[in-house]
Amino acid sequence: MTVKLWRNLDISASARTSADTEPIITYRGHTAPVTSLAVSTRTGLVYSGSLDSDIRIWRLPDPSFDTYDSFDPTTRVGSISASGDAVWGLQLFENEEGEERMAAISADGYVRVWDTEKRECVKSWDYEGVEAKESSFKRKRIVPTAITLVKSSPTGKGQQLAVAYFDSIVKLFDAETGEERLKLKSSESYGESPPFLRRVRAFADRFLLVDGTPQTQINQITSHPSKRLLATAHEDKFIRLFDLETGDCLHSSLASVGHDTSLRFWNLDLVCTQEIASHRPKATEGILDITAHEQEMVVVSAGADGTVRLWARE
């Protein structure tokens, strides 16, 4: 229910065995667990999504702010009532006019794009890429599980958002219009499944029974910073790499045998190049999220054991 901020952490060799480091500030306000974060270096604001259906907005503290300084009430900027359902992911981007936008995915099945300055929803769409409308007729709700910004196509215009769903499908949408641009073949790649299992899935596919279940849902996606590639992490313990021009699966690899708490590094052929035993398991879960620094060789992991750890790659 809180958001914690650390700053200027020492990742030198001499500091790697030091005691725990206190956060410089802790933001409080959510009434349910926080599920997603986005930080705007442009405005100095932090956005947090939660199971309480709110997107809270916080201001980054002044560089001179110290951990033991008095609380500054101006750090609480405001909130956005997203949808009445849990917020599962946030993604900041700029439109063609250079204005900052924030896309949010919610448990009601919609992607909503917000004007961060006016805090107004400027566009929304569901799994089919259509405008959200109130109606007594309810379609089957297909919930998005992850969202990320992808490198624009050389032949295309505007920003594109990749959205993953619990039915193991990934779709690319135009960030401005919500129009579907591409549907990845993410439900067709099963790695090195046994032949008998492939035959069962092929048979079930004919009756629309394959996927569409939490057993193969996508838990996380990330895009390559300079290539039209997208990596997906699935509930069936596989990771997959996709070509965003064709939608084809380039590689598929078994990444783990469960929540084994290991942090693994992969090349673009999905060959594991390094493995680190990192967090302690808790309630059958291990690592919940990871992110990498854009310039430094630093990786941050968050575990179910309640710790956040920094890893310096040599």
Contact (CB, 8 A) for 263 and 255 = no
User: How high is the mean pLDDT of the chain?
Assistant: 83
Q: Which pLDDT tens digit goes with each residue over 138-185? A: 556 889 999 999 977 665 567 899 999 988 899 999 998 899 999 998
The pLDDT value recorded for residue 259 is: 67
Q: What is the mean pLDDT of residues 250-278?
A: 84
Note the CATH number of domain 1-125.
Answer: 2.130.10.10
The pLDDT value recorded for residue 209 is: 40
Contact (CB, 8 A) for 73 and 58 = no
The pLDDT value recorded for residue 192 is: 44
Give this prediction's pTM: 0.84
Residue count of the chain: 314
The pLDDT value recorded for residue 208 is: 39
Range with the poorest average pLDDT among 26-30, 191-195, 207-211: 207-211
- Break the chain into its structural domains and give their ranges: 1-125
Per-residue pLDDT band for 200 (boundaries 50, 70, 90) equals very low
3-class SS of residue 259: coil
**Residue 221 structure tokens:** 């996606």
181 vs 209, more confident: 181
3-class SS of residue 17: coil
The pLDDT value recorded for residue 21 is: 80
**Which among 244, 223, 93 is positioned nearest to 154, based on CA atoms?**
244
Range with the poorest average pLDDT among 8-12, 56-60, 164-168: 8-12
The pLDDT value recorded for residue 210 is: 44
The pLDDT value recorded for residue 115 is: 95
The pLDDT value recorded for residue 158 is: 72
Q: What is the mean pLDDT of residues 19-35?
A: 88
For residue 138, the 8-state DSSP code is -
133 vs 272, more confident: 272
Contact (CB, 8 A) for 79 and 136 = no
Range with the poorest average pLDDT among 153-167, 209-223, 299-313: 209-223
Contact (CB, 8 A) for 33 and 50 = yes
Per-residue pLDDT band for 193 (boundaries 50, 70, 90) equals very low
What sign does the dihedral 129-131-135-141 (CA atoms) show?
positive
Residue 28's φ and ψ, nearest 5 degrees, are -125, 140
pLDDT(288) > 80 = yes
pLDDT(225) > 50 = yes
The pairing of beta strand 170-174 with beta strand 160-165 = antiparallel
The pairing of beta strand 170-174 with beta strand 272-277 = unpaired
**Residue 139 structure tokens:** 């379609």
Q: What is the mean pLDDT of residues 264-275?
A: 90
Q: What is the mean pLDDT of residues 267-292?
A: 86
Highest mean pLDDT range out of 186-190, 194-198, 307-311? 307-311
Residue 258's φ and ψ, nearest 5 degrees, are 140, -160
Query: Which spans in 148-234 are helix H?
Result: 195-205
pLDDT(282) > 60 = yes
Residue 267's φ and ψ, nearest 5 degrees, are -90, 180
